[in-house]
Chain A
Amino acid sequence: MRIALFVTCLADTLYPNVGRATVTLLERLGHQVEFPQGQTCCGQMHVNTGYQQQALPLVRRYVQTFKDCDVIVAPSGSCVGSVRHQHAMVARACGDEALAQRAEATGRRTFELSQLLIDVLGVDDVGAYYPHRVTYHPTCHSLRMLRVGDRPLRLLRHVQGLDLVELPDAEVCCGFGGTFALKNSDTSTAMLADKMRNVLSTRAEVCSASDSSCLMHIGGGLSRLRTGVKTVHLAEILANTEAAT
């Protein structure tokens, strides 16, 4: 299958390995990945901070860039959440009904990675190998906007060598929330402290998730406290094989 990658602006700039892992994984499964060069950002930060007018050109760009792609994947639950649940709303709020309808169509063809693997490609064992103790934070928008449910856990349970430990209070927000982390940094930090306490209680070496943004927040705290616990995106775990290790 031809699959277009929407790498997301954050992974593109700060976490290129997440994009590379997504490509490696999908190619290993026998699919052809393309990277439309016109892509930039979904505009979620603008929308969630109240700048819908400023998000409009980004919505337009996304729809234009991916208009001919049948299947689009992004390694981020919240960016896909924005594409699916906010793009048409922004277009309508700005009075562009035609764009809203195109955004709805593009949104339907855009998938979060675990949704793509399980629902579209029908695979839950991707042949990965990752010999580490791992706990998984399910991320709010994956859970409650996209309803990915236990799909990431099903994928992780099939990874050879991986010791999956349940994260206590897993479904509670880590406190990132985009500009919330800056505007309400004290509250965000208090939420992060509880998330880190739960991560540390699992004695996992790695905390994984499907959103680089949440991982930047959780990982930033774990790094600041020198816990030694790493944050690794789900795509990076699934891309790893015994041969590559």
Chain B
Amino acid sequence: MTTYLGLPTAPAGVGHLRGSEPFPAAARRALADTQLRANLAMATTTIRRKRAAVVAELGDWEELRAAGQAAKTGMMRHLDRYLEQLEAQVQAHGGTVHWARDAVEANQIVVGLVDATGSREVVKVKSMVTDEIGLNEALAAGGITAHETDLAELIIQLGHDRPSHILVPAIHRNRAEIRQIFLREMADVDPALTDQPAALAEAARLYLRRRFLSARVGISGANFAIAETGTICVVESEGNGRMCITLPDTLITVMGIEKVLPSWADLAVFMQLLPRSSTGERMNPYTSMWTGVTPGDGPQRFHLVLVDNGRTAVLADETGRQALHCIRCSACLNVCPVYERVGGHAYGSVYPGPIGAVLSPQLTGVEENPTLPYASSLCGACYDACPVKIDIPSVLVHLRARHVQEAHRNHRLPSSEAIAMSAASWVMADPDRFAAAQRASRLGRPLGRRRGRIGQLPPPLAAWTRARDLPVPPAQTFRQWWRDEHERPS
């Protein structure tokens, strides 16, 4: 089997890639949250319908998916070259490029850049990678206040909450809860605020407008970065991003190294795939693109921070590396029956759902997130929905194998599961041993003799019988019946 070289993974103690408890325990708590279940079911059903409708409009959707997959695969093969090309182009257009090995370095760079401006406040465009590296916490530690300006991120920030969805971070909140948060946290909000969406949006608009007009530093992520011209692209719905990247004097863009695209022709493919897959729209309302600095127009200082934080380690895994193709659309979350029931917090990472279950453990190292690859029934709905055809079920199975291998290396004694699996393998490798085991399973028949079903079994099978009966093993297996019928000497 493949051995993995010790490439650095995302460091512990900083950022949001690791949960505080195993997935099954976090999921159990989430499943008991009635409000969460209702909000999620409502929201994911709505987004699923919208996505299905706009995807069905395109006759060449499958070809587009294949083109997206091919563009990402080709780019990854020469990632080094495209990153250096991007750097050269950004510098040629008056920007500065910084390389960050991990979350710690990236945070240090950004805090240093903000410090240098003398500003104590920044406005932020919604960005996954800055949450991944825990930038807001690092800024706060440096005495700098970060204002989230995306409506949902604002709700999360004001609610002292964590995002639970890539696209809709506050998907677990309904409008009644949002009204409560605004009333509690916005100093000068109208006390007669209703929970009508327009009223809530207006309250946020008034609150944010003051921040936009006073901010001297903006921080963004990047959906795409085009190597051939050094152009950064941010795709959004609300227009807050446009404010953040045009009004301040200094703009700092933090991006994962996998977001680079070779050319504008590649971008054309992704601009068709992304809005349809994420919000279920033909085109998103605001697409902002900028190339370095334009004298006299917009920010006059531009910094691009390129973050690795475990991505090179992911790239080293031939099967797992396709997780880096993700364009953060969240279509896989919306179709996932596990995500729909447990929500995003149970995954313990800024990347929840199926893509999170394959991305987070690879960024941190599988043993730092060992329950996430198992947080799936392998139903495959995510693979069908993915606009860049990431074979998430196959990567999950692959990461499970990596976990078993690494656990085997790390522990002197095998787990009871490993013993059971080896025993089952030994039994099933031989039909006579298998037949003997089948005869032994008939010892279970008395357990259900009276009721015709088995309702209680000892651990580990108790996890089955807590909610489900088992049939009583039949008196005769199929192979016994076959022998009796077909091979009886006549």
Contact = CB atoms under 8 A, between A and B. Distances in A.
Given A40-B434, A173-B377, A58 B469 contact: no
Interface residues of B, number: 63
Contact of A16 (B27, B337, B481, B486): B481
**Dominant SS among interface residues on chain A:** helix
A30 B445 CA distance: 36
A187 B453 contact: no
A222 B342 CA distance: 23
A66 B443 CA distance: 31
Nearest to B383: A144
Nearest to A39: B431
B187 interface: no
A175 B431 contact: no
B122 to A, nearest CB: 39
B431 A173 contact: no
Interface in A40-67: 40-41, 43, 45-55, 57-58, 60-61
B28 A186 contact: yes
Contacts of A173: 337, 377, 379, 381
Given A50-B401, A55-B425, A172-B337, A177 B379 contact: yes
Contact of A49 (B379, B400, B402): B400
A145 B380 contact: yes
A11 interface: yes
B441 interface: yes
Contacts of B478: 7, 11-13, 16, 19-20
B180 to A, nearest CB: 27
B80 interface: no
A223 B469 contact: yes
Interface in B424-483: 424-425, 428-431, 434, 438, 441, 453, 455, 460-461, 463-464, 466-471, 473-474, 476-479, 481-482
Contacts of A175: 337, 377
Contacts of B140: none
Given A40-B429, A181-B464, A216 B404 contact: no
B464 A191 contact: no
Interface in A126-163: 140-141, 143-145
A14 B482 CA distance: 15
Contacts of B24: 183-187
B316 interface: no
B374 interface: yes
Contact of B471 (A12, A38, A216): A216
Contacts of B473: 13-14
Interface in B334-360: 337-338, 341-342
A53 B471 CA distance: 31
B338 A187 contact: yes
A26 B24 CA distance: 43
B31 interface: yes
Contact of B441 (A13, A93, A187): A13
Contact of A51 (B338, B418, B460): B418
B397 interface: yes
Given A177-B379, A180-B378, A186 B27 contact: yes
Contact of A180 (B341, B376, B421, B425): B376
B23 interface: yes
B16 interface: no
B380 A35 contact: no
Nearest to A220: B468
Nearest to A182: B463
Given A37-B431, A47-B397, A189-B467, A54 B422 contact: yes
Nearest to A143: B380
Contacts of B1: 52-53, 93-95
Nearest to B408: A53
A217 interface: yes
A9 B438 CA distance: 9
Given A16-B477, A173-B337, A220-B470, A184 B23 contact: yes
B403 interface: yes
A35 B482 contact: yes
Interface string A78-104: 000000001001000111000000000
Most buried by A among B430, B453, B460, B471: B471
Contacts of B384: 144
Interface in B165-218: none
Interface string A210-236: 000000110111011000000000000
B485 to A, nearest CB: 9
B395 to A, nearest CB: 12
B27 A12 contact: no
Most buried by B among A52, A54, A186: A186
Interface string B2-33: 10000000000000000000011001100100
Nearest to B479: A12
B378 A178 contact: yes
B391 to A, nearest CB: 10
A220 B378 CA distance: 20
B342 A187 contact: yes
Contacts of B400: 48-50
Contact of A177 (B378, B468, B469): B378
A214 to B, nearest CB: 10
Interface in B18-73: 23-24, 27-28, 31
What 5 A-B pairs have minimum CB-CB distances, sorted nearest first? A177-B377, A220-B468, A50-B400, A173-B379, A144-B380
16 contacts: A40-B431, A43-B425, A46-B424, A51-B401, A54-B422, A86-B397, A172-B337, A172-B381, A175-B377, A177-B376, A184-B374, A186-B27, A186-B28, A187-B342, A188-B377, A217-B468
Interface of A: 7, 9, 11-17, 19-20, 35, 37-41, 43, 45-55, 57-58, 60-61, 86, 89, 93-95, 140-141, 143-145, 171-173, 175-192, 194, 216-217, 219-221, 223-224
Given A61-B428, A185-B466, 7 more contacts: A16-B477, A35-B479, A49-B404, A144-B380, A184-B24, A185-B24, A189-B466
